[in-house]
Chain A
Amino acid sequence: MKINGYTLDAKQDNAHIRQSIGVVFQQSLLDERLTVRENILHRGRAYRLSKTQLAENYQFVSKYLHLADIEQQKYGTLSGGQKRRADITRTLIHRPAILFLDEPATGLDPQTRQFVWQTIKQLQEETNMTVFLTTHYMEEATVANEVVVLKQGQIIAQGTPDALKTQYAHDQMALVFHQREEGLQWLVAQGLSYTEKLNIFSIRVKSTLHALALLQQAESLLASFEVVKGTMDDVFIHIMEGDVA
């Protein structure tokens, strides 16, 4: 296996590989009693960078992650979101070509999660960095270029979010009829399988257009309806259940 052109497990390439990657761990691993700046510079000195290069990198990344207000604070006194900013800065200090993030947004408030996401996205676009992200939040996977689903360490599905959605997710339509019995008859007549809950019938539709065709037919019977697009959550659930749309 090759990483950034270097061979994994080849002794002479080991240092080059580690110089090319950055890893953001799930937990916060910087030192509580050191300031953010001290933390980042100490870990940065483990890379093969000249003093000036390190200082320049620090300038660049700390600006990117808006560290100015917290860089002199002890890491242990920071909030969860501030810690994450510091963690990511530490990881980027040597300007890696490939960034690995292990569930970086777990346990963060929605605003910080957004910030973390925007930053990573922006970095990826501006520096051409490859970003590997593991996550349980399917909404995060939605913005990826390529999604790989793992089950017990094995790849069980792979593709762009759109391709996966087409293959594994399906749109749902919820229908409420004026007269329950009439509606039921119509569904049976159409040969549609459905589930019912509190007089709301859910049916699977192939696409939004398919839904439109059905709606036109049943227009006179309908009190209300809702079309729900398939999400990455559905993709995940269906893949895990081993079921294809």
Chain B
Amino acid sequence: MEALFSLVQRHNKVFRRDKTQVFFSLLSIIIVIILYAVFLQKMQVDAIEQVMKATPQLITLVNEWLVAGLLSMIAVSTTLAAFGIMVRDYESKATADFLTAPISRATIQFSHVLNAFFTGCIFSFLALLGCEIFLVATGGEWLSAGDFMQVVGLLMLSVLLASVFNLFLTLFVQTQNAFSTLSTIVGTALGFLCGVYVPIGALPSFAQQLIMYFPISHTTVLLRQYFMEHSLVKVFQNSPPSALEAYQIQYGLHYQLYGTTLSTMASFIVIVSTIILLTLLSVLIYKRKHR
């Protein structure tokens, strides 16, 4: 246990003190924020304004939509960056040095997963605080204590999903070169696959299906539902229910697959079963890799 904690602490220090690495892990998020500030926010507000009157709540609604997307992306990009330490350790033979001590390969592997999880949690929590301040500063309201706890729980679940997802991916990676390619691909694809750059409704149907089958996008969906709950009521109070439903489908608050709308519970099931499946697969791959 002592050895495991020591390893996790060490990975964490190594990650935190590498400022460039931290910056690059947040790069895709920074890009979203810039895109949003420059034109994405205005595009969305304009689009919704065409069907209803603009209110201050509308800006908040759109901001909350962004925040939900950002938080789901941060979980993935920071946990992936944390696994970068694992790849670097293998390549630099630091892992070989650890193995001269009486700790097992599996302990080392597990320490990297734990580190990814903690790193993801810390960054997600900080991001959540930052997002809340942003929402309130732009005219929104604080989450109630109960909602806040639920969002924190949901974030932890999404970080757990991101951790096993990235563990699974990095098990196929041997070198730092390959890892940086992987990071670039994930960083680029993530914004699309979570429907953050472009609302899902604006995409052709095959792309929509791709997003719906991408399990991490379900955390985005759930986060949107939590963050936007109150604003949705306020913005759509004078509109017909069909307008609200159309908005929810268009902006990925609910997925509609083969004519049926997926429930919140369905998204939870997708997330939890993906976690279980990827964990099992990772263990299998890990065992095959090491005799």
Bound CA–CA A48/B101 (angstroms): 9
Chain B residues with CB below 8 A from A94, complex form: 101
**Which residue of the partner chain A has the closest CB to B16?**
A33
Q: How far is the CB of B104 from chain A (nearest CB, A)?
A: 9
Chain B residues with CB below 8 A from A48, complex form: 102
Q: How far is the CB of B131 from chain A (nearest CB, A)?
A: 29
Size bin of chain B's contact surface? 20 to 34
**Which residue of the partner chain B has the closest CB to A76?**
B17
Q: Which of B17, B96, B100 makes the CB contact (< 8 A) with A33?
A: B17
User: Is there a chain B Cβ closer than 8 Å to A42's Cβ?
Assistant: yes
Bound CA–CA A94/B100 (angstroms): 11
Q: Contact check, B96 vs A29: say whether CB atoms are below 8 A apart.
A: yes
**Which residue of the partner chain A has the closest CB to B103?**
A46
Chain A residues with CB below 8 A from B103, complex form: 46
Q: Contact check, B18 vs A33: say whether CB atoms are below 8 A apart.
A: yes
**Which residue of the partner chain A has the closest CB to B19?**
A33
Q: Contact check, B96 vs A46: say whether CB atoms are below 8 A apart.
A: no
Bound CA–CA A46/B3 (angstroms): 4
**Which residue of the partner chain A has the closest CB to B9?**
A42
Chain A residues with CB below 8 A from B94, complex form: 29, 31
- List residues of A (46-63) whose CB comes within 8 Å of B's CBs: 46-48
Bound CA–CA A18/B101 (angstroms): 5
Q: Contact check, B96 vs A47: say whether CB atoms are below 8 A apart.
A: no
Q: Contact check, A23 vs B13: say whether CB atoms are below 8 A apart.
A: no
Chain B residues with CB below 8 A from A14, complex form: 102
Q: What total of chain A residues lie within 8 Å of the partner, measured CB to CB?
A: 22
Q: Contact check, B7 vs A46: say whether CB atoms are below 8 A apart.
A: yes
Q: Contact check, B2 vs A15: say whether CB atoms are below 8 A apart.
A: no
Chain A residues with CB below 8 A from B13, complex form: 31, 33-34, 38
**Which residue of the partner chain A has the closest CB to B6?**
A45
Most buried by B among A33, A38, A94: A33
Chain B residues with CB below 8 A from A42, complex form: 6-7, 9-10
Q: Contact check, B93 vs A29: say whether CB atoms are below 8 A apart.
A: yes
Q: A15-B102, A29-B93, A29-B97 are in contact. Are A34 and B6 (CB under 8 A)?
A: no
Chain A residues with CB below 8 A from B9, complex form: 42
Chain A residues with CB below 8 A from B17, complex form: 33-34
Chain A residues with CB below 8 A from B18, complex form: 33
Q: How far is the CB of B24 from chain A (nearest CB, A)?
A: 16
Q: A25-B93, A29-B92, A31-B94 are in contact. Are A46 and B14 (CB under 8 A)?
A: no
With A42-B9, A43-B97 given, can you name 13 additional A-B contacts, CB distance below 8 Å?
A16-B102, A18-B102, A21-B100, A22-B100, A27-B92, A29-B96, A31-B10, A31-B13, A34-B14, A42-B10, A46-B102, A47-B101, A94-B101
Sort A-B residue pairs by CB-CB distance and give the 6 closest, nearest first: A45-B6, A46-B101, A15-B102, A33-B17, A18-B102, A42-B10
Task: Give the B-binding residues of A (Cβ under 8 A).
Answer: 14-16, 18-19, 21-23, 25, 27, 29, 31, 33-34, 38, 42-43, 45-48, 94
